[in-house]
Amino acid sequence: MSKTAKIVILFIVVIAIGWGIGKYTSAPSASEEEGTVVSDGSALQGQPDASAEPSPVASVNPDEQDQGTSGNNTGAEGSTADPEENASENTAPNPTTVATNKPGTPDSGNNAAELTAAEPESMSVMVNKQYKLPDKYKPSDLVYPNVRFLFSEKIEKRMMRRTAAGALEEMFAGAKKDGIQLAGVSAYRSEKTQTRLFNNYVDRDGEEKARTYSAVPGHSEHQTGLAIDISGSDGKCAAESCFAGTPEADWLASHAAEYGFIIRYPEGKESITGYKYEPWHVRYVGKEIAASIAEKGITLEEYFDAVPVSN
């Protein structure tokens, strides 16, 4: 083979080798063709990094979690949901809800906070501005006492608990023997009714004043079925301040304890009971407790050492 032919063959070999190397280095890898690896990370936008710490702004807002779960969020148009009603179900239980150390009475030493009566069925249950009844509580033994009322209909406010109703019948009979004609004005009152009444009073007089003579829903003694407002049979001054000093009011003050009732909001005790003097509002507590309270001239709060109450 001539020298010229050898040079030509060598030249061809060099070109062939160079072409092969160039093709190999320019070919994309399998992963690049599938598009799963991109150096600038743009294909991962919107995908969480499992190794990274969660961002605070990415966590779920508890308020947003509760939206739509509470029936209170779908109220009237333009209404704002109460934040307490939107509380998470994981919220710690109210620390002020306690059991009592006596049947129907408060734990001593827990007088600062709102408490729930542990034994609402007790005849001596404490219900005032500090102690409330369980939500939607309704006595299980409501009856219609056989006494005169200022109305004839058998409606809610004519009812009382059975034991209290029996004592009321005896008291009305005792008053009649003494020439005093009593009449019932308002006895049992449901939480729903109390809510309506209280809201009406707030609209009329403002909340601060309303609280001096009307109970916040859940805190009314009328809801226990053990309390009743009483007037004379003519209905004059029924549940009004002018009832004080009437023969009926004087008789109740002197004799109610004999039948297990007390004047629940006596004169001069407003700073203790939290309410104005109401000579017409009597509450059944049983003869023993009533006698002790009448003898000492104290209130139910003082009897159970539950002073002071909240405003």
- At residue 121's C-alpha, the angle toward residues 117 and 126, to 5°, is 40
List CB contacts of 211: < 8 A, sequence separation 6 or more: 129, 274, 311
Q: CA 297 to CA 292: how far, in whole Å?
A: 8
pLDDT tens-digit profile of 289-298? 999 999 999 9
Q: CA 118 to CA 101: how far, in whole Å?
A: 9
- Predicted pLDDT of residue 5: 58
Question: Pick from 194, 207, 187, 221: which is nearest to 299 by CA?
Answer: 221
- Predicted pLDDT of residue 47: 35
Q: Residue 282 pairs with which residues in a beta bridge?
A: 228, 263
Q: Which residues of the chain have pLDDT under 50?
A: 21, 23-112
- Predicted pLDDT of residue 58: 29
pLDDT tens-digit profile of 195-245? 999 999 999 999 999 999 999 999 999 999 999 999 999 999 999 999 999
Tell me yes or no: is domain 115-303 CATH 3.30.1380.10.
Answer: yes
Relative to beta strand 131-132, strand 115-116 is parallel
Residue spans of alpha helices (H) in the chain: 3-26, 30-34, 62-66, 162-177, 191-205, 207-210, 247-255, 270-273, 287-296, 300-303
- Predicted pLDDT of residue 309: 65
User: Domain boundaries in the chain?
Assistant: 115-303
CB atoms within 10 A of CB 16: 10
Contact 243, 237 (CB under 8 A): yes
Give the CA distances from residue 71 to residues 64, 68, 74, 139, 179, in Å, rounded to whole numbers and listed in that order: 14, 7, 6, 26, 55
Token pair belonging to 139: 């006595």
DSSP percent split of the chain into helix, strand, coil, nearest 5: 40, 10, 50
Bond from prior residue into 48 cis (ω within 30 degrees of 0): no
The whole-model pTM stands at 0.66
Show which residues are catalytic: 278
Q: Phi/psi of residue 261, each to 5°?
A: -110, 155
CB atoms within 10 A of CB 2: 7
Give the CA distances from residue 235 to residues 33, 134, 149, 153, in Å, rounded to whole numbers and listed in that order: 96, 33, 9, 16
